[in-house]
Amino acid sequence: MEGRIIQAVDIGTTKVAAIVARQTSNGKLEILGLGKSPSFGVTKAEVLNVSRTIDAIKSAVAEAEKQSGITFNNVYVGIAGSHINSLQHRATLMREDYKTLISQFDIDKLKEDTYRLPLPPGDEIIDILPQDYKVDNITNVQDPIGMVGNKIEVNMHVVTGSTTSVNNIKRCIEGANLKVLKIFMQPIASAAAVLSREEKQSGVALVDIGGGTTDIAIFVDETIAHTAVIPFGGESITHDIEQGCRILKSTAEGIKVQHGSTFLLDEHENLIISIPGVGGRNPKEISMKNLVGIIQARMEEILDYVNHEISSSALGEKLNCGIVFTGGGSHIKHLRQLSEYHTGHDVKIGLPNEHLVKSKIQDVDNPIYSTVIGLIIKGLEVQEFEHQEDKKVDKPVDNHKIVEKTEEAKSVDSISLSNAVENEKTTPEDKKATSANDKNKEEKPKKSKDFFGLLKTAGKKVGEWINDDNLQDFNDINNKK
C-alpha cells in the first residue's frame, strides 16, 4: 500500500543498522532514514553482551530518527549465527469436504502442524518456508489456493535456532524500547533485496559475507531450496591480517578495506604498504604479496564451504544464474575472479538497488545494507499478505475485548439491569399476575391453586357457613320467646 512506513533493525557482528522506509506508488522503497553504529556486544552474529548491544541499537535508531523525523516503534529483525539450522519436512492435510475450495485456512493448518515438530532441547522454529505442494495426484503446485482436492501435501523448509539466541535478540530490541514484529533469517532477507524473480526462477545461490558469518541461501523455481551458515566472515579475514602481520586490529581492518584483494596482479607483486608506527615506534612495512596471500587463504576456505553446501544440496546443476555475493565481505577486490575459478559457477556482486528509488540518503545501495533493506521488503510482504487476508474474511469478534459503548447503549443496559433486578425480587405468583395483566388489563388475577391456598379458602367458606347457621338459630330462639 502506498505511503506505508516500515522500520527494521539489523544486528550484525561489526555493525548495527536501523532503517525506515516508505513504499511509493510504484511499489518501490524510498529510504527516509538510515543509522549505523559499531556493534561491540555481538560475536559471530550472536549477542554476548546485551547491554552493549542495546546501546548500539539505540545509537543507530537515534541517527535514523534524526534523518527521517519518524519515531521508531515496531521493527522487523534479522537473525544469523552458527546456531541456525534447517531441515526438510513434508506435511499432509486430509480435508473433510474435498469439494470446497482450498483456502488460506488450509495452508495455515499445515504450518500449525509443522510447528509441533519435535526439536532438540533448547531449539525453536524461527520460520517455515513452503516449497512446493501436491494436491491429490497433481504435483509441483506452487499455490494450491482456489483448487479443490481431498489431500494436500507440502514440502516445508524449516529454519530452527537456539531459543536463547532468539530471546537475547528480543531482549535487546525491547531494551531499546522497540517491539519485534517478526524475526527473519538474514540470508532470506538479503535475497529479497539483491535477487530478481528471474534469478530465483532459474536457480541461484546467494552468499552473504557478513562480519561474523557467511550465510547461504539457494533458490530454485522461485522457492527456497537450501540454507546454511558458515562460521567465518569478514572479521575472520581481519583477524588473520592482524595475526599474520602483527599489527593492531583497527589497522588490519583499514588495510583490508583499502588494499584488500584476493588476487595478486603482476604490477602489485613488489608493492610495499607502509603502516605508521604505534607509540613512537618506526613505521611497519607489509608486502602486498603477503597481504594477498593471507586474504586469499581465508577466502578460499570460505569458498570451500560454499562448494560443500552446494554439493550437499544436490542443486549445483540447477544454478543457471550461478552465485551472487553480497554483504560487507563482497567488497574485497577480485572476489568475482577467485570465486569463478574456485567454484566453476558464474559470479556477480549483488547490490540492494533493484527495489529502491532515489533518496537523499547517500550510499544506501551498498552491499553492507543488503540485509536491513531486505528486512524492509520482507516486512512489506507480511503486511500486504495480512491486508489481503483482512479484506477476504471478517475477523471474529473477540469476546475478551472491552468495547466502549455509547451513552444510549449504556442507558439501555441500565434499564435492562434494573428490570433484571426487579425480576429477581418478584415472586412467581407476581410474575404470572403481571403477565396476565399485560394480556388483558381488565381481567382479574387468577386465584392461587396451590394446596395451602385451597385450604385457606375452604376454611373461610366453612366459617361463613357456621356463622350464618348460628345467626339463624339465634333469630329462631328470639321469635319463640
- Tell me how far apart the alpha carbons of residues 306 and 310 are, in angstroms, rounded to a whole number: 6
For residue 432, what pLDDT band results from cuts at 50, 70 and 90? Answer: very low
Our CA angle for 93, 96, 101, nearest 5°, is: 80
Angle at 122 between CA 120 and CA 124, to 5 degrees: 80
pTM: 0.77
Cα Rg for the chain, rounded, in angstroms? Answer: 38
pLDDT per residue as tens digits for the range 289-329: 999 999 999 999 999 999 999 999 999 999 999 999 999 99
Q: Are residues 205 and 289 in the same domain?
A: yes
Query: Confidence class of residue 443 from pLDDT cuts 50, 70 and 90?
Result: very low
Greatest Cα pair distance in the chain: 167
Quickly state the pLDDT bin for 409 (edges 50, 70, 90).
very low
Claim to verify: residue 111 and residue 234 sit in the same structural domain: no
Name the domain count of the chain: 4
User: How far apart are alpha carbons 320 and 199 in whole angstroms?
Assistant: 8
**Residues 264 and 328 reside in one and the same domain:** yes
Q: Mean pLDDT in the chain?
A: 83
pLDDT band for 392, please (50, 70, 90 cuts): low
Instruction: For 350, list phi and psi in degrees, rounded to 5.
Output: -90, 130
Quick one: pLDDT at residue 363?
86
Domain for residue 3, yes or no? Answer: no
| Top-confidence residue, 403 or 286 | 286
Share of the chain above pLDDT 70, in %: 80
DSSP SS3 for 135: strand
For residue 343, the model assigns a pLDDT of: 94
Has residue 38 been placed in a domain? no
Same domain, 202 and 345: yes
| The pLDDT of residue 299 | 95
What confidence score (pLDDT) does residue 457 get?
53
Task: State the average pLDDT over residues 18-31.
Answer: 92
Bridge-partner residues for 180, per DSSP? 75
Q: Are residues 437 and 451 in the same domain?
A: no
Quick one: 209 and 348 in the same domain?
yes
Q: What confidence tens digit (pLDDT) does each residue in 141-174 have?
A: 989 999 999 999 999 999 999 999 999 999 999 9
Which of 106, 131, 160 is the endpoint of a domain? Answer: 160
Query: Residue 481's pLDDT is what?
Result: 42
| Rounded average pLDDT over 433-451 | 45
Q: Tell me the DSSP string of 51-73.
A: HHHHHHHHHHHHHHHHHH-----
Q: Is the domain of 265 the same as that of 151?
A: no
Average pLDDT of 209-214?
93
> How many CB atoms are located within 10 Å of the residue 53 CB?
24
| CATH of residue 249 | 3.30.420.40
pLDDT per residue over 238-284, tens digit each? 999 999 988 888 899 999 999 999 988 888 888 999 888 777 778 88
Which amino acid is it at 167? N
Distance separating alpha carbons of residues 45 and 231, to the nearest angstrom: 9
Asked whether residue 205 is domain-assigned, the answer is yes
The predicted structure's pLDDT at residue 8: 97
Q: Compute the residue count for the chain.
A: 481
The pLDDT of residue 256 is 93
Residues 415 and 323 placed together within one structural domain of the fold: no
Least Cα distance to 206 among 197, 196, 216 occurs for 216
Boundary-marking domain end, from 289, 319, 353: 353
| pLDDT value for 412 | 40
348-352, 392-396, 404-408: least confident range: 404-408
| Residue 169 domain flag | no
CB 160 within 8 A of CB 84: yes
Q: Calculate ∠ Cα 302-306-309, nearest 5°.
A: 135
Q: Are 155 and 251 found together in one domain?
A: no
Q: Which pLDDT score, from 0 to 100, does residue 447 have?
A: 43
Taking alpha carbons only, the member of 267, 238, 215, 244 closest to residue 332 is 238
Confirm whether 186 is domain-assigned: no
Domain assignment present for 315: yes
- Select from 112, 143, 160 the last residue of a domain: 160
Q: Examine the pLDDT at 471 and tell me if it is beyond 50.
A: no
Q: What is the mean pLDDT of residues 406-422?
A: 42
Assess whether 260 and 322 both reside in one domain. Answer: yes
Residues spanned by the domain of 252? 197-353
Task: Give the pLDDT mean for 196-225.
Answer: 94
For residues 414 and 332, membership in a common domain is answered with no
Query: In this structure, are 148 and 203 located in the same domain?
Result: no
Whole-number Å distance between alpha carbons of 11 and 325: 20
Say how many Å lie between the first and final Cα of the chain, rounded.
117
In this prediction, residue 460 carries a pLDDT of: 52
For residue 184, is it within any domain? no
123 C-beta neighbours (distance < 10 Å), count? 17
Grid cell of 114 as nine digits? 509443522
**Spatial CA neighbour of 214 closest among 189, 238, 226, 232:** 232
Does 340 map to a domain?
Answer: yes
What pLDDT is attached to residue 213?
Answer: 93
How many other CB atoms sit within 10 Å of the CB of residue 33? 22
